[in-house]
Each structure stands twice: as C-alpha cells, then as structure tokens.
Amino acid sequence: MNKKATIDHIVHWLNSYSDQSHTTGFVIGISGGIDSAVTSALCAMTGKTTLCLNMPIRQHAAEYNRGNEHISWLKSKYSHVLSAEVELTGVFERFEQALPVDIQDWLTMANSRARLRMTTLYSFACHHKLLVAGTGNKVEDFGVGFFTKYGDGGVDLSPIADLMKSEVYALAAELGIVPSILTAKPTDGLWADGRSDEDQIGASYDELEWAMRFLENPQGFTKLTERQEIVLDIYSRMNAANRHKMEPIPVCKIPR
C-alpha cells in the first residue's frame, strides 16, 4: 500500500462527497482508539469543519484521556478542528432506570451505549450540517461484523472501511498519530473495565485479517495449525452471525 497515495485518495473522496451533499464538514466520535484517530485526521485534512466529539459513558480513564490527547493534537495542527464533550453517563443511567431490569443483559446495554452515542453524533450533525464519519475498518465491518447495528454502524460515510486494521495502523504512523493511541490495545470503548477487542473476540486483528484473506484465497495452504483452525472457526461464526449487519435491509417485495 502506498500510504501517501491512499491518504490523498481518501481526503479527495471525503471532500467530493461533502461537496456533493452540500454539507460543511464532518463529525466524528473520538474513542481514544486508532480508527477514530485516523478517521478524524483524514477528515481534518480536507480543510472542512471537523468536529470531534468525546462522549463518555462510564468511560475507562485511559480511553478518555487518549481521546482528549488526540483531540488536542489535532486542534494544534488544524484551526478548523472543533471539539465538544457530551457526558452521557447520566442519560444512560436514566435509560437503564426506564427499561425493565430483566432485559438488561450485557450485550443489550453495551449496544444501547453505542446507539446513544450515534444519536448524539446526529444531533450535532443535523445542527451544523455535517456528515457523520464512520470509523469502522474492513475486517470489522465486512469480516466479523464487530460493530453495533445503528450504533457505531449508523453513519453517513465510511472513509476507512476498505482498509484492514494493519493498514489503518500504517496510515496512523504516516499521519503522526500520538504514540499513546498507536500502542494501545484496540477496544470498542463500551466496557468500564477497558477490555480489549481481542478479549471479546478471542482472536487478534492480525489473525482475523489472515482468516479473511485465507477464505478469499485458500490456495497454497496444505495443512493448518491448530491455532489457525480456531481462528477460522471464530471468524466464520462471527461472519455468519453478523451477516445481517453487512447486507442491505431486506424489503418484502409484493407481487403486482
């Protein structure tokens, strides 16, 4: 991958889409992770308004601090980068109180946090005539479906969704993203204990990328290791279970 050419291509694509949609720029939720850092940096490079939102909900301190460090770095480089913080913990807790206790399992409430953030992003986007920029990468969005439907998956455009996680890291190094983010374990920011994506999935992104590429072109492998078999099983199960996130909403066609 030619890093500079890829960056230039995405920035041009972002500018063109914003111009065609008659919007003034972009809004991005900043998580303290690599994907939102790269996405917001690319949006800032367009020269258009780039609004970075920090939206803590019982946020792990390290994630919150990394997000703020990135925002400060980006604002020091670009005068058109703006920021805001919306503390959503109280809103989320009131939502918890309104829901029946017996439906509040861990996945339901984690997804609810992501959807609350999506609603917040669109509130700012609507008011300021901005586009919500997605932060999902290729292996998350089209491999294992590791995102919340109508949460972090609810966006207007996806600048890095054709890049593997390793390629996002390569762009991050090229862009000069702050070291604390470059070295942090990837996390979705939905857990107060700061658990990583690998903790949840059971495989690293390097392993998932291998599985995605292997299934696209399995030739050349005569025997898989035990670990490769495990990773393929994880990838295949998640891909099948989350296929509904990756495909268009089914429409019932009525015979005429």
Note whether residue 19 is domain-resident: yes
What CATH number is associated with residue 12? 3.40.50.620
Tell me the average pLDDT across 40-53. 98
- pLDDT at position 220 is 66
Please state whether beta strands 81-85 and 49-54 pair in parallel, antiparallel, or not at all (unpaired): parallel
In degrees, rounded to 5, the angle at the alpha carbon of residue 168 between the alpha carbons of residues 64 and 209 is: 110
Residues in the chain, overall count: 256
Q: At residue 174, does pLDDT exceed 70?
A: yes
Q: What is the mean pLDDT of residues 165-172?
A: 97
Tell me how many degrees the CA angle 154-155-156 measures, rounded to the nearest 5. Answer: 140
Q: Could you read off the pLDDT of 214-246 as tens digits, one per residue?
A: 998 887 666 899 999 999 999 999 999 999 999
Average pLDDT over residues 69-76: 98
Strand extents, DSSP E, the chain:
25-29, 49-54, 81-85, 130-132
What are 159's two structure tokens?
């600048």
What is the average pLDDT score of the chain?
94
The residue that leads in pLDDT, 237 or 61, is 237
Quick one: pLDDT band at residue 192, thresholds 50, 70, 90?
low
- The top-scoring range by mean pLDDT among 153-167, 191-205, 219-233 is 153-167
What integer pLDDT is reported at residue 199 of this predicted model? 87
In a domain, 248, yes or no: no
pLDDT tens-place string over residues 110-157: 999 999 999 999 999 999 999 999 999 999 999 999 999 999 999 999
Residue found by looking up tokens 């792990």 in the block: 60
Mean pLDDT over 50-63 rounds to: 93
Confidence label for 181 from pLDDT (cuts 50, 70 and 90): very high
What is the pTM assigned to this prediction?
A: 0.94
Any domain includes 22? yes
116: how many CB neighbours lie within 10 A of its CB? 18
DSSP letter string, 168-189: HHHHHHHHT--HHHHTSPP--S
pLDDT digits (tens, 9 = 90+) for 73-110: 999 999 999 999 999 999 999 999 999 999 999 999 99
The fraction of the chain above a pLDDT of 70, given in percent, is 98
Q: In terms of DSSP H, where are the helices of the chain? A: 3-20, 34-44, 61-77, 89-98, 106-128, 138, 165-175, 179-182, 197-201, 205-216, 226-241, 243-246
Q: For residue 196, what pLDDT is reported? A: 85
The residue range of the domain holding 56 is 3-194
Which pLDDT value is given to residue 190?
75
- Total count of domains within the chain: 1
